[in-house]
Structure 1
Amino acid sequence: MGRSTLRFRRPAVTTRRLIRGLLAFAILAALGWNSVLLAAGNSMQGAKKEEGGFEGEAPTAILIEATSGAVLFEKNADELRAPSSMMKLMTAEVVFHAIKQGDIKLTDEYHVSENAWRRGGAPSGTSTMFAAIHSKVPVDDLLHGAIIQSGNDACIVLAEAMAGNERAFAEMMTKRAREIGLTRSTFANSNGLPDPGNKMTVRELAMLARHIIQTYPEFYKLFGEKEFTWNKIRQPNRNPLLNSLEGADGLKTGYTKEGGYGMVGSAVQNGVRLIVAVNGLEDPEDRANEAKKMLEWGFRNFEVRTVFAENETIGYAKVFGGNTGSVALASHEPVKVMVQKNGNDKLIARVVYNGPVRAPFEAGQKVGVVKVWRGANVAVETPVYAMDSVDRGSTLRRAFDGVTELAIALFRAGVAKL
């Protein structure tokens, strides 16, 4: 009797699984497998993976292409370390943002407190712009002092004027970092002087540099100025790339005993901008050489190729309740990717969206993104938009779509139980 029961029930389980499998096939077909695309024209194979590779000496490093944010090289890029004076990029961003919002002006003058003078000025023995105690310095000059001379006093003056004290300003920095997509960076002061609360990864340093370059082009020029004089003391820009690499125009160096030597740098050659970030090196010469070598390697071994033209159909999104079952998707601008010149890269593009898209909607509505993988890493991510307007469908069409969505939900629930 028991055997009979088993013989009866086992085929029933198999049947349910078969039905679920067939239903899954039908659902996937309905959703549109063409959302996963191979960019065949840009599929490059044949060279060995190690050919043209970069052997970096820095404990943590990353190289990205500025327009797309594509990562060309990385090593321990998500390791949190003391960012030292490279953290002044975040201080500068907060000030740039406040100016852009109209909260402060370049001509505003801020008081140099005794605290700023002692902890970051001439008595501190650290990098300083030599702002005189109890003097007033315009925001414009404080930015020059913080960026070109790496003045710790300039940063403290800005922090005290804008937030009341450094700790409050550091909270502003962390809050602003989250707003621009830096999810792991934390700040305890305005200048990067040693504190356990100052932590950044080279990935987020590169992301911050890219954000500054793209968002504040008028202020980014400060990073390329080769010297600045304040209080009759002329100091050169501390960025060694400005005098050693063609096209170099920013950003910032840093050093603390805890974090070692690091820098964030950027250069443009043949219309392509690359950004490098390294940290944890043992001496300033190694820092400069490593950053320069990585940028030169990137310019030498990579080139920009167009994967999809402007307004070219990239894929299709399933439509719910419309007079058509799908809508073509495209980018409003060309989708470009940095690829290795040696033909070692294989590119795969995938449209990602929350679907189905509910009708009615107009042409030009943002639907999702197209992600392009170069090997195992996402090289670029670009928004995609509906190419056509879609009107509300008939009652029968909406009912059919409703049944389909119910079937998908039941299928997913069934799979979850298996």
Structure 2
Amino acid sequence: MKTSLEALRVKEETVVKNNYMTATRFTFEADCILLQDSDYLQITQHVKNNLIDIENDFLYQLKLESKQKLDSINSKLENSNFTNSECSQYLAFNKHEIYELHKKLKINSIEEYVGLYTKESISSLYSLGENSLPLKIMYAKALSYENLSENAVYYRIVNMIFNKYKHDYAKENFDYRTLMVSDELKQGIETIHGEGVLCRYNLFKLDHNNHKLTNNILTYIYDHSNTGTYLIINDKIKRLVDAFNDLIDNGYVNDLSVKVESIRDNLPLLEEKMYGEKFKFKLTELPELSRFYDLNNPDDSVWVFVSNKEHKFSITFEETLEDTFYDKDFNVITNLVHLEITKDNDQNFISHIDHEYIIYDIETYFERLKSPTQKGGHKIKTFKIDNAKIPLNYEYQGINILFLIITECVGKKELVNEYFENI
């Protein structure tokens, strides 16, 4: 089994190192399952035949990952500025996951896990294969439903074993020289920001007019003059970022230099990945395009387009889903909300807002997933408000009106929650 685990590790490392999109546009493990990777299948068969032998490793990883996820949920609460109402909403949203994580912490045998999660595992895999339009069309021949159903819960166990193997491998093969800024990374930074941008100790010196330290699941430097790339920095200062920014804003710190760990074209954000920025009432600071998408299902996205023309802001939200809504002719239907914001006496007002279904034929929809400028063929409106003067910060029953409308009009509400998290 170790040979197959190592083969998988090398395959995944290649995908990550080269920033490849996985073939199924899900996770690497989903590729292995849905495309029936031979090494993955060998590990699955070994697991099925040797449950007792791998039980200790499995239970260790199951409890470790469950505890880490619980710690992440609790950490967000502890380090946020949530009101009591927001805390309650956050806990309510995560109630089911918290329950499941506590349940997993109490599992004491691999047979108990198989008994508890076989039905759910089968349901999850069938939903991917049968309801996912791209997979149905592009990968139907690769799916073996009988095999998937039989092995569904064991695939989850394999994922745990694989995660533990990767953790152990990283620990056993650690080399302190990997902490240094590599020549390849130096070249990449200088290509983007110019030669000589790195100072002593190969640290990147922030220009406070253009650079800002930012925290999500990764800590990174946001560059106002170059929004296409992000410099990822060491998580050691994750909890210090807000303090550092405060010291800079108050004029107590003029020079701050940090070690860059990597360069990325997009960012993970908590459970989702993101490029762009979260919503803020200072509309002039919003980027033209933001995209939030689910880490496990990258085609589950909320796209936010912002334009500013003739003293009027136009903001469009469009939702694209992997488990998408389509008709008998495979026309794809997405949700779109469009609003216009005007200013009067330095106050922003929503003057127009509408919801519509956007209709794409299948070829156009695939182009839309790759290009945010791709338009659909038809639209069907469900409501529209014109000639309005709704204060942008207006709250209905304690909830911002824009956030409320967008949330009710889309299916992937957790992505909307992330976008509006700061209001």
Q: TM-score range by the shorter chain?
A: under 0.3
Indicate the structure with greater helix content.
2
Q: Please report the TM-score for the alignment, with normalisation by the length of structure 1.
A: 0.24
Higher Cα Rg, which structure: 1
Q: Please report the TM-score for the alignment, with normalisation by the length of structure 2.
A: 0.23
Greater relative contact order, per chain length (Cα 8 Å cut-off, separation 6+): 1
